Amino acid sequence: MPELAFFSGTMDCGKSTLALQIEHNRSARGLQGLIFTRDDRAGEGKLSSRLGLVTDAVEAGPGLDLYAYVVEQLSRGGKVDYVIVDEAQFLAPGQIDQLARIVDDLDLDVFAFGITTDFRTKLFPGSQRLIELADRVETLQVEAMCWCGARATHNARTVGGVMVVEGEQVVVGDVNQAAEVGYEVLCRRHHRRHMTSATSRSGSLSPDVLPVAST
């Protein structure tokens, strides 16, 4: 049976790499997929991974009806055997409903990939709707690591290396960019303490170190 599958995790856990792998495996068997993405780091209409792999995709802007787009491709004689959606957290809840309709009405598998929570630890609306509707939700097992070496569970937004917890939910950036706004994955402990890799090196006494009473 076709299904709507949601693969989630923090940044750096290999979501886009897995999306590209699924595309490769199916296309190698003669199947043809349709790839949607939104606000990819490589630019509009691109699906890219941090490993340097890039492929063309359809930019799923706010006004795009994903179900209608697939129907139009099929009505023109195009072949669509499955659908891949990367950066699914950026989609509107209504677009997630359209993905479910692609599965139910067109009998196509839909593989969605995205971050579950934002830099404030709040669910993205698109991810929330996927959790509500998906036939299968999987957390990717490739563990991203916090600067301290622990498993990273939270996404942090930084400005000049300093973690921020206010601002627009979506500001496209990259952990490797030189621009002021960036992103970093942290463990829960250091996310709660607003300690990024930069700020952890800024003082001689880490907040993780217990004070020693003088005698």
| Number of neighbouring beta carbons within 10 Å of residue 90 | 24
Cα dihedral sign, 156-159-161-166: negative
Instruction: Select from 120, 126, 117 the least CA-distant residue to 166.
Output: 120
Token readout for 145 is 């690591």
Residue 130 backbone dihedrals phi, psi, to 5 degrees: -65, -40
Token readout for 128 is 């929330």
Residue 185 backbone dihedrals phi, psi, to 5 degrees: -95, 140
Q: Which residues are catalytic?
A: 87
Mapped onto helix, strand or coil, the DSSP state of residue 184 is strand
For residues 135 and 140, what is the distance between their CA atoms, to the nearest angstrom?
Answer: 16
Helices marked H in the chain: 15-27, 66-75, 93-106, 125-133, 188-192
Determine what percent of the chain falls in helix, strand and coil, rounding each to the nearest 5.
Answer: 25, 25, 50
Could you tell me if 177 and 160 are in contact, meaning their C-beta atoms sit under 8 angstroms apart?
Answer: no
